[in-house]
Amino acid sequence: MANIISGKELSAKLKDELKIKVKEFEETYGRKITLAVILVGENPASQVYVKNKIKSTEYVGMRSLAYYLPENSTEKDVEETVLALAKDVNVDGILVQLPLPKHLDEGKILNLIPAEKDVDGFLAENVGKLVIGEETTVACTPFGVMQMLKSTNIPLSGKNAVVIGRSNIVGKPMALLLLQANCTVTVCHSKTVNLKEICANADVLVAAIGRPEFVTADMVKEGAIVIDVGINRTEKGLVGDVKFYEVEKKASYITPVPGGVGPMTIAMLLENTYLCALRREKNA
Ligand code: GUN
């Protein structure tokens, strides 16, 4: 039976450690770290995410600024909100909750966030720095997965790592981080031939495809570390991209859903906000 990597426990520990660093920052620089969150519209899942982000921001001792804009906001309304926060010297991080309503140009809006306030690590400048191995803000979910892998104390160097999914938010940065950790990385996606065989050769398997219980036991190598990034709402309730009860019998480590990668994402958002604030002070 696999060991469970609890994101709930690990994120709580990281948030408590961050709380101390945030207090030290405040003592050193005489100001609070501030994260601004913008939510446009009334997507119920986004409302829950934003509520949890604000709650955790305050828990670690940072100041949170929340902007709730109506569903029918114009491009100009949202752009003005982002631009005001971009200019505000008291704001360290800006998060625009995605997805935005369909009539808004996501790329255009995100690109108004200065790279040094991009706590999501979504901007081309920050992704580019990740590619060439420069210090930067890394997207929260893959950053959180790396902390979970680190918590196992298993060396990653030389391991075969397979990432299922190639999104800009998870799959691509995940592959880059695993490569940086000296893994041999394969990225699988919907057009991959022999997906099952490739996965079955993975020492580290990261599932980020958004298909409920897609990864079955026959796709998993005995003793593999299996990380489930999926959160799918089904008739059975919340399930991941991994068929947990089958795969836990074969894996050495596995992450649960819920209580796995999800809570880590918020902890890493706060870590990113802290790092952005620190970099801004150091570059001031
Ligand atoms: N929507 C779902 N996940 C995320 C995230 O990590 N960041 C932002 N900005 N929006 C999201």
Question: HEC string of the chain?
Answer: CCEECCHHHHHHHHHHHHHHHHHHHHHHHCCCCEEEEEEECCCHHHHHHHHHHHHHHHHCCCEEEEEEECCCCCHHHHHHHHHHHHHCCCCCEEEECCCCCCCCCHHHHHCCCCHHHECCCCCHHHHHHHHCCCCCCCCHHHHHHHHHHHCCCCCCCCCEEEEECCCCCCHHHHHHHHHHCCCEEEEECCCCCCHHHHHCCCCEEEECCCCCCCECHHHCCCCCEEEECCCEEECCEEECCECHHHHCCCCCEECCCCCCHHHHHHHHHHHHHHHHHHHHHHCC
| CB 272 near ligand 1, within 6 Å | no
| Share above pLDDT 70 across residues of the chain, in percent, rounded to a whole number | 100
- Of 39, 67, 85, 95, the one to substitute when testing ligand 1's pocket (max ligand atoms within 8 A of C-beta) is 95
| CB 35 near ligand 1, within 6 Å | no
Q: Whose CA is nearest to atom 2 of ligand 1?
A: 98
Q: Is 90 exceeded by the pLDDT of residue 37?
A: yes
Q: Whose CA is nearest to atom 1 of ligand 1?
A: 98
**Tell me, what's the pLDDT at 166?**
98
**Tell me, what's the pLDDT at 228?**
98
Task: Please say if 191 is a catalytic residue.
Answer: no
Closest atom of ligand 1 to CA, residue 95: 9
**Which residue is catalytic, options 15, 97, 172, 241?**
97
Residues 195, 206: Cα–Cα separation, whole Å: 13
**Which residue is catalytic, options 92, 118, 120, 203?**
120
Task: Please say if 53 is a catalytic residue.
Answer: yes
Residues 221, 196: Cα–Cα separation, whole Å: 11
Task: Please say if 129 is a catalytic residue.
Answer: no
Residues 2, 225: Cα–Cα separation, whole Å: 9
| CB 118 near ligand 1, within 6 Å | no
Query: What is the maximum alpha-carbon separation in the chain?
Result: 56
Cα of 269 vs centre of ligand 1, distance in Å, is 10
Task: Report residue 228 as tokens.
Answer: 């489930």
Closest atom of ligand 1 to CA, residue 99: 1
- Per residue in 96-155, pLDDT tens? 999 999 999 999 999 999 999 999 999 999 999 999 999 999 999 999 999 999 999 999
pLDDT band at 95 (very low <50, low <70, confident <90, very high): very high
Stretch 1-17: mean pLDDT: 98
pLDDT band at 24 (very low <50, low <70, confident <90, very high): very high
Task: Report residue 241 as tokens.
Answer: 């991209």
**Tell me, what's the pLDDT at 122?**
98
Cα of 171 vs centre of ligand 1, distance in Å, is 14
**Tell me, what's the pLDDT at 74?**
98
**Residue 160 near residue 150 (C-beta atoms within 8 A):** no
**Tell me, what's the pLDDT at 222?**
98
Q: Half-sphere exposure of 266 toward its Cβ, with a 13 Å CA cutoff?
A: 26
Average pLDDT, the chain: 98
Q: Is 90 exceeded by the pLDDT of residue 284?
A: no
**Tell me, what's the pLDDT at 52?**
96
Cα of 95 vs centre of ligand 1, distance in Å, is 8
Closest atom of ligand 1 to CA, residue 120: 7
Stretch 169-189: mean pLDDT: 98
Pick from 150, 154, 178, 144: nearest CA to 164? 178
- Per residue in 198-246, pLDDT tens? 999 999 999 999 999 999 999 999 999 999 999 999 999 999 999 999 9
All residues at 6 or more sequence positions from 218 whose CB lies less than 8 Å from its CB, including other chains: 196, 200
Pick from 44, 167, 58, 25: nearest CA to 97? 44
- Any idea which residue has 């901007």 for tokens? 123
